Chain A
């Protein structure tokens, strides 16, 4: 058995792992970042980034073989010909669905930072205080003021473009210049503002840079982000945190390293390192460090903890609270409305904006009271229809072709992203009867949305319809395309932060109560879900936790 020693170990290389590695190495710690999958090198390995649509055999679509190979991925837009290699091999890495659960994973350097949606919003005290006010689950151990400077820190480094809209439920950050709304969106936003006191439509705040930043080129409006950006225009591990960490000379990156457990020392009550399985050779190695950052993504971070220190706690490291693997959250979505905007025939857009509009939460705020708690935000955009539209009065022929070669009517759609409450019995557990390609037990998902979310979905449809109609859209139709937990790709809550080791897995600095030199700073840490896209919050929590870890190391407290 080979042994290696570092100052710090980071498990996982996605959005939060990459941020942990950057912060740790910049503070002088010799750090190894362990990634279970292959390496994807910035630009060089973005094999499809410059392909034209016609260069794909199936023009980017799905095949029956792909559907057979990726039954989970095939449930949504995620399965496609253009970036298939970025999604996990489902045969190698299965999981059990006690109830339907969509788990869209990326097992490679960069993780889902390569494919993420890039929407970057701060949480506010309406969110941090929510559990305490509603008397559900446990209170967040932090408030907005604790995280605000770290949001700034993350935003300035990542490069978030956005407008400072001055809304209390969506605090403003340190932004690059915002992207532009198109003419229809601008008019819709103005009409919404005029009609409603507390509803606003703003330009999306996105991790696409709008001016050059840290050797990265500003967004070129190709809207091909999820192929990997050859300009480095969106925040990913590859474009941003990894090069910064490498530049310090303190980083070792080890792909094909599946962390099987954290090595826990009963005498010191600290973790002393990790055991990994080399995904290519199946050999086992141990790595040692003073501090460990666990950033394997919400569900897999819980998996690592469940497999660790089982001689002390049968349920794994962090299970003494009874909350490890519980309180699984996501954002429920796929409900909203869309309609047609008459007029604007002399208007069009130039370029493909990798961003849309955002309607921050308005329900159950500012005196509003519904028959459910919390709320939702909307994402959407307006645009002119393309060649795939129906022209009922036309059949075939030259006129038909020429008509389809021109843009159609303006349409606009809104999709709600709703907060899911933390239910103790929404849980994941180890299924030891089923093994993955490496003989490791897999996760079983037992998660469902409840009455609160179902009631919210009615508003997600009706409110969108009402707002679009007030803004002048016609033929507005609502839709509810159904939702499986996990489908929002915002998994959270499986090792929540709290104020009491009896009811939470992590403390206010993301330290595992039972092993204070282990920090968990991905979605697992979330005490409530809010309704904003969560990745920016993971970045901020991570930078804050690293600052704490390094100062504790200096004081020899961890």
Chain B
């Protein structure tokens, strides 16, 4: 990203500021450490964070694949979004958000039991979709009144990292989108018809 892109773009993902260490320029003032303290019980929970294990990553692959399933192009699981989420939560999230994310996996499982009477992994594709659609509605409603000081919603985090992980992956950038390593020219009036894929950016 260069400065012009950064300035021209309102750096939002799904209509809101990116959670964690901002991926794009947000243009907002950097989050203060006070904010972290407000969200964290002991202010030192970094040491309590346990990186997501392979089982959790496999679980997140399935969740991601429900958010972005295979269509005419591969889904999020093919882009291995589970392991990407593990890296981002470990490295880019603040301690308070790490805690929300980790807890969120249990909350998602509980919600699955409640709605479908079984765990997410045991659910049918239709049950999974019903569950995550409900959770997305929940996070969208929460976002409507959420102030910056209030904790983030775990499903918003999962969805956001799924999108980020998918569309910047090789699978996402070259199959769902079109990636041109060396365009060689610029055409400012290029034809587009519905269904043409978007360009993957740098």
**Interface of A with B (CB < 8 Å)?**
50, 52-54, 57-67, 74-77, 80, 117, 179-183, 185-186, 220-226, 333-334, 336, 338, 345-356, 379-381, 383-384, 386-390, 392, 395-398, 400-402, 404-407, 412-413, 415, 479, 481-482
Identity of the chain A residue whose Cβ is nearest the Cβ of B191 in the assembled complex: A346
A221 with B7: CB separation less than 8 A? no
Stretch with Cβ within 8 A of A (4 or more), from B53-61, B104-112, B115-123, B179-187: B179-187
| A388 engages B13 (CB within 8 Å) | yes
In the bound assembly, the distance between CA atoms of A404 and B197 in angstroms comes to 9
- Which residues 125-176 of B sit at the A interface, judged by CB distance below 8 A? 129, 132-133, 136-137, 159, 163-170, 173, 176
The verdict on A64 contacting B72 (CB below 8 Å), with A185-B188, A405-B197 known, is no
Cα–Cα, bound, A353→B23 (Å): 22
Contacts of A415 in B (CB 8 A): 7-8
B192 touches A407 (CB 8 A): yes
Q: Can you name 18 A-B residue pairings with CB atoms under 8 Å?
A: A52-B173, A53-B201, A57-B91, A62-B22, A62-B23, A74-B30, A117-B2, A351-B180, A351-B184, A352-B183, A383-B8, A389-B12, A396-B67, A397-B129, A398-B69, A405-B177, A406-B194, A406-B196
- The answer to whether B189 touches A345 (Cβ under 8 A) is no
Within 8 Å by CB of B167, from A334, A350, A387, A392, lies A387
- Complex-state Cα separation, A379 to B76, whole angstroms: 36
Closest to A401 in B: B68
Number of B residues whose C-beta is below 8 Å from A? 81
Contact B168 A77 (CB under 8 A): no
Report the Cα distance A212→B43, complex, angstroms. Answer: 57
Inter-chain contacts of B164 with A (CB < 8 A): 59, 388
B173–A53 contact, CB under 8 A?
Answer: yes
Q: Which residues of B contact A (CB under 8 A)?
A: 1-10, 12-16, 21-25, 27-30, 66-73, 75, 84, 87-88, 91-94, 129, 132-133, 136-137, 159, 163-170, 173, 176-177, 179-202
User: Are B196 and A396 neighbours in the complex by a CB distance under 8 Å?
Assistant: no
Find the A residue at minimum CB distance from B73. A405
In the assembled complex, how far is the CB of residue A410 from the closest CB belonging to chain B, in whole angstroms? 11
Residues of chain B lying within 8 A (CB to CB) of residue A62: 21-23, 92
| Assembly CA distance A50 to B182 (angstroms) | 9
Q: Which of A62, A117, A225, A338 has the most C-beta atoms of chain B within 10 angstroms of its own C-beta?
A: A62
| B198-A395 in contact (CB<8A) | no
Establish whether residues A180 and B188, one from each chain, have CB atoms under 8 Å apart when the complex forms.
yes
B7 proximity list for chain A (CB < 8 A): 333-334, 336, 379-380, 413, 415
A220 adjacent to B23 (CB under 8 Å): no
Interface of A is mostly: loop
Contact B8 A66 (CB under 8 A): no
Q: Known interface pairs A52-B170, A64-B91, A398-B71. Does A352 touch B202 (Cβ–Cβ under 8 Å)?
A: yes
Complex contact B184–A396 (CB within 8 A): no
On whether A58 and B91 interact (CB within 8 A), knowing A53-B202, A75-B30, A406-B194, the answer reads yes
Contact of A220 among B71, B87, B182 (CB under 8 A): B182
CA distance A57 to B72 in the complex (A): 27
Are B202's CB and A64's CB within 8 A?
no
In the bound complex, do residue B191 and residue A348 qualify as a contact, i.e. CB atoms below 8 Å apart?
A: yes
> Are the CB atoms of A54 and B69 closer together than 8 Å?
no
CB distance B69 to A401 under 8 Å? yes
Complex contact A349–B187 (CB within 8 A): yes
Q: How far is the CA of A398 from the CA of B166 in the complex (A)?
A: 13
Q: Is the pair B190, A350 in contact by a Cβ cutoff of 8 Å?
A: yes
Whether A405 pairs with B198 at a CB distance below 8 angstroms is yes
A404-B167 in contact given A53-B202, A347-B191, A413-B7 (Cβ < 8 Å) = yes
Task: Give the CA-CA distance A482 to B186 in the complex, in Å.
Answer: 33
Contact A396–B169 (Cβ < 8 Å): no
**Beyond A388-B164, A405-B73, 8 additional pairs, beta carbon < 8 A:** A52-B181, A67-B21, A179-B186, A351-B183, A388-B12, A388-B14, A395-B136, A406-B194
Residue of B nearest to A394 (CB): B136
Q: What residues on B are CB-neighbors of A481 within 8 Å?
A: 27-28
Expressed in whole angstroms, the Cα–Cα distance for A362 and B67 within the complex equals: 49
Given A396-B132, A396-B159, A401-B71, answer yes or no on A380-B181 (Cβ-Cβ < 8 Å). no
Q: Which residue of chain B is the closest to A118 with respect to CB atoms?
A: B2
Whole-angstrom CA separation of A398 from B65 in the bound complex:
10
Contacts of B69 in A (CB 8 A): 397-398, 401
| CB contact between A390 and one of B14, B72, B192, B194 (< 8 Å): that residue | B14
A400 near B183: Cβ-Cβ < 8 Å: no
**Given A53-B202, A346-B191, A388-B13: A59 and B168 within 8 A (CB)?**
yes
In the complex, what distance in Å separates the CA atom of A62 from the CA atom of B168? Answer: 15
Chain B proximity of A210: nearest CB distance (Å): 10
Which among B91, B170, B201 is the interface contact of A386 at CB below 8 angstroms? B201
Contact call A406/B87, Cβ cutoff below 8 A:
no
B residues in contact with A386, CB < 8 Å: 167, 198, 201
**Contact A351-B137, Cβ < 8 Å, known A52-B170, A222-B182, A401-B71:** no
**Which residues of chain A have C-beta atoms less than 8 A from B165's C-beta?**
59
CA distance A76 to B1 in the complex (A): 12
Residues on the A chain within 8 Å of B192, using CB: 345-348, 407
Return chain A residues, CB-CB under 8 Å to B163: 387-388, 404
- Return A310 CB to nearest CB of chain B, in Å: 38
Between A77, A352, A354, the greatest number of chain B beta carbons within 10 A of the residue's beta carbon is seen for A77
Contact present for A186 and B12 (CB under 8 Å): no
The 9 closest A-B pairs by CB, nearest first: A390-B15, A182-B188, A351-B183, A77-B6, A62-B21, A348-B192, A351-B186, A77-B25, A350-B187
Q: Specify which chain B residues have a CB less than 8 angstroms from the CB of A185 in the assembled complex.
A: 188
Q: Nearest Cβ distance between residue A359 and chain B, in whole angstroms?
A: 13
- Name the A residues within 8 Å of B193 (CB-CB): 346
Query: A63 CA to B201 CA in the complex, in Å?
Result: 21
Q: Are A225 and B2 in contact (CB under 8 A)?
A: yes
Contact B1 A60 (CB under 8 A): yes
Assess the B201–A352 pair: CB atoms within 8 A: yes
Q: How far is the CA of A180 from the CA of B193 in the complex (A)?
A: 22
Residue of B nearest to A63 (CB): B91
A173 to chain B, nearest CB (A): 20
Query: When the two chains form their complex, are residues B137 and A221 in contact, meaning their CB atoms are under 8 A apart?
Result: no
